[in-house]
C-alpha cells in the first residue's frame, strides 16, 4: 500500500478485516501519509469509485462469491485488474519447526489455479506472469512483536503463549535482539486483465 502511495496520486485500501485496517490506519497516521483512503468492506458489496487499476493481492480466499467480487472489480477498474498470490511457498525452517511443535499444519496448494479457472469460465483471459524464487525474511523487532504475530498465525490459545515465548528465545539474534525465523521462498503469480 505504501509503495503504491509513493508512486500514484491516490490509493484506496479495501479490506473486509477491521483488524487489518486498524493496523494500516495506525501506520498511515504514524507516517503522516495523506493519499491513502481505507474502506472496510468485502469486495462483493464495496462502494468504491472508479480507479485506474485494481490490485487484488492474496485475498481470493476471502471472497464468498468470486464472480461477484471480480465483476465489481471490472466495474471499478478503468485500465486493468491485477491478481497477485504466491505459489508453491516453502516456509522457513524455523516457521516449520514452530508449526510442528504447536500442532498446526498448513494445507498444501494455493487458490490461484482455481481463480484462473473461474476467470476463464467468466470469459476473462488474463496474462499470467510467474516470478520465481522470491525471498522474504521472517524477522521481528523483538519477541513481543513475534509472539503477537505468530499466536495468530499458529492459532494459539492464550494459555500456550508463554510456551511460544520460550520457544522463540532460540531465534533471537544476540547482536540485534531481533527474532529471525529465516527466509520464506515462494513463487508469485501475477495475473493482469486489461479492461480496455
Per-residue pLDDT tens digits for 74-117: 999 999 999 988 777 788 888 888 888 888 766 555 667 778 88
DSSP character at residue 106: P
Provide CB contacts within 8 A for 2, sequence distance 6+: 27, 31, 33, 36
> Residue 12 above 90 pLDDT?
yes
Backbone dihedral region of 27: left (phi > 0), alpha (psi from -120 to 50 degrees) or beta? alpha
Q: Is the pTM of this model over 0.75?
A: no
**Which residue, among 110, 117, 106, 126, has the nearest Cα to 187 in the 3D structure?**
110
What is the helix (H) or strand (E) element at residue 7, kind and residue range? Answer: helix 2-7
**CB 60: neighbour CB atoms within 10 A?**
20
Amino acid at each position: 500500500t505504501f509503495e503504491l502511495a509513493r508512486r500514484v496520486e491516490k490509493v484506496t485500501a479495501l479490506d473486509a478485516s477491521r483488524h487489518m485496517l486498524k493496523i494500516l490506519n495506525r501506520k498511515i497516521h504514524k507516517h503522516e501519509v495523506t493519499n491513502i483512503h481505507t474502506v472496510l468492506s468485502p469486495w462483493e458489496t464495496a462502494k468504491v469509485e472508479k480507479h485506474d487499476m485494481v490490485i487484488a493481492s492474496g485475498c481470493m480466499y476471502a471472497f464468498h462469491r468470486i464472480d461477484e467480487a471480480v465483476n465489481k472489480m471490472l466495474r471499478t477498474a478503468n485500465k486493468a485488474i491485477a491478481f497477485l498470490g504466491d505459489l508453491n511457498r516453502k516456509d522457513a525452517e524455523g516457521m516449520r519447526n514452530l508449526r510442528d511443535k504447536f500442532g498446526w499444519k498448513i494445507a498444501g496448494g494455493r487458490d490461484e489455479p482455481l481463480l484462473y479457472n473461474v476467470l476463464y469460465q467468466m470469459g476473462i483471459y488474463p496474462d499470467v506472469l510467474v516470478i520465481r524464487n522470491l525471498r522474504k525474511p521472517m524477522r521481528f523487532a523483538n519477541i513481543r512483536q513475534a509472539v503477537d504475530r505468530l499466536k495468530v498465525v499458529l492459532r494459539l490459545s492464550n494459555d500456550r503463549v508463554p510456551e511460544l515465548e520460550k520457544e522463540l528465545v532460540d531465534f533471537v539474534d544476540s547482536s540485534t535482539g531481533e527474532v529471525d525465523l529465516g527466509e520464506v521462498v515462494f513463487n508469485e503469480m501475477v495475473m493482469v486483465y486489461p479492461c480496455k
